[in-house]
Amino acid sequence: MPDNETVTDLGLDEYKYDFVTDEKPLFKAEKGLSEELVRQISAHKDEPEWMLEFRLKALETFYSKPMPNWGGDLSTLNLDEIYFYLKPQDHMERSWDDVPENIKQTFERLGIPEAERKILAGVGAQFESEMVYHSLKKEWEEQGIIFESIEDGLRKYPELFREHFATIVPPQDNKYAALNSAVWSGGSFVCIPAGVKVEIPLQAYFRVNAEQMGQFERTLIICEEGSQAHYIEGCTAPVYTTESFHSGVIEIVVKKNARFRYTTIQNWSNNMYNLVTQRAMVHENANMEWVDGNLGSKLTMKYPSCYLVGERAHGEILSIAYAGDGQHQDTGGKVVHAAPNTTSQIVSKSISKGTGRSTYRGLCKVYDGAINSKSNVECDALLLNDTSRTDTYPYIEIDENQSSIGHEASVSKVGEEQLFYLMSRGLSEEQAMTMVVRGFIEPIAKELPLEYAIELNRLIELEMEGSVG
């Protein structure tokens, strides 16, 4: 039963994403993008030559690719006004005591100390483009699990890193993957050794906290054969008046018989352009699940994907998008069946309020020879006002006859009968509306760890404030 509400408040109350701490970045690059900047970033990170070359080549790719002419409106995004690299601290912190006070304050407002106390543990937090705090549970180290910042991953595990880096999302994949490849900074490097099962989720919190700052985190996760783990990442951003830009790349390899779940809840400030490429390569009999929650931002374009390349591989994408006034959530998922007996499922739920717009964009591709593949797509949109909007673009490409693809889409409005029913029991119209919305996302919220489900519900409540006139 969804009794999340019975757990005591995590103190997210006063956090209505409108606070800024006064930490001083030690390094602040110039605004805008250039080859010089890319060289500086690489030098600053003391990277091997191959990485510098990779970045420079990616920059060329970025310049050569046209802006995507589909999805959301990017015309007001001005890359010359964005800082592509910031570095608040030179050193990685290992223990909580070493974390500077002002940063701690920020974390505290995000509820991270609670998470610590509850031994959710293993917190790697990204603050201003870089890891500043990184603690790993002892038992994980004993199990041989690697959970490092992406920079440390490259430094400490050069071969493993190079073997997988950019193999899942190559820079040529799309314009923003190319941009990320050129200027990436921050993110996690994770490797779960063969046969190791991690019970407690690995968590990374991060937070963008500098005006006009671009954040280009890069995460690489390797799940060796037969391993099992759950990685959680969540973030909120303070509100600023000028545009912000976030463009991450997440690459995951799930090897034979491994199981992996990647959970994100993102709640960006309303001026954020959020363009993320998340992709998993799923091998024989392996299982990959994306659980994705998108709130806030001006425009989000995000389509977690699973490439099912081994027989009996299974991929799942569960996503919730909430488009408030003036926001556009262009989200969905992509599944590629490239081996026999592969299965996939996409469940996407969106809520649009006021002038918000949500788009479901999905691709299901079945290659010739991927016999007995099964895919099921379900997307439900809930519109809260007459001004809200939703569109669905389900692309299906099937080259194999012996496969089955199901697609169901629904659009609903919060019904007058539902509201009347709830109000006749004493709920105000706003409470009634919030309750219908929470119920709508419940099938996905219940997949989240408790703290996240509470946070999500809290965010929805905040978003619903003033939703009725």
The residue ranges that bind other proteins (CB under 8 A) are: 1-3, 5-6, 415-418, 420-429, 431-432, 435-436, 438-443
Select 136 or 423, whichever has its Cβ closest to other proteins. Answer: 423
φ and ψ at residue 331, rounded to 5 degrees: -135, 175
Q: What minimum distance in Å lies between the beta carbon of 362 and other proteins?
A: 22
Select 258 or 382, whichever has its Cβ closest to other proteins. Answer: 382
Select 258 or 351, whichever has its Cβ closest to other proteins. Answer: 351
Select 56 or 427, whichever has its Cβ closest to other proteins. Answer: 427
Select 138 or 425, whichever has its Cβ closest to other proteins. Answer: 425
Select 265 or 441, whichever has its Cβ closest to other proteins. Answer: 441
Amino acid at 9: D
Q: List for the chain the helix, strand, coil content (%; round to 5).
A: 25, 35, 40
3-class DSSP assignment, residue 443? helix
Q: Which of 148, 153, 144, 252 is nearest to 198 (CA)?
A: 144
Q: What minimum distance in Å lies between the beta carbon of 415 and other proteins?
A: 7
Q: What minimum distance in Å lies between the beta carbon of 291 and other proteins?
A: 16
Q: How far is CA 89 from CA 85, 103, 127, 416, in A?
A: 13, 11, 9, 54
Strand bridging mode 27-28 / 86-87 = antiparallel
Q: What minimum distance in Å lies between the beta carbon of 419 and other proteins?
A: 8
Q: What minimum distance in Å lies between the beta carbon of 72 and other proteins?
A: 28
Q: What minimum distance in Å lies between the beta carbon of 351 and other proteins?
A: 12
Q: Is 56 exposed, middle or buried (0-12, 13-18, 19+ CB in 10 A)?
A: middle
Q: Which of 149, 259, 250 is nearest to 195 (CA)?
A: 259
C-alpha span between 388 and 329 (Å, rounded):
12
C-alpha span between 310 and 385 (Å, rounded):
44
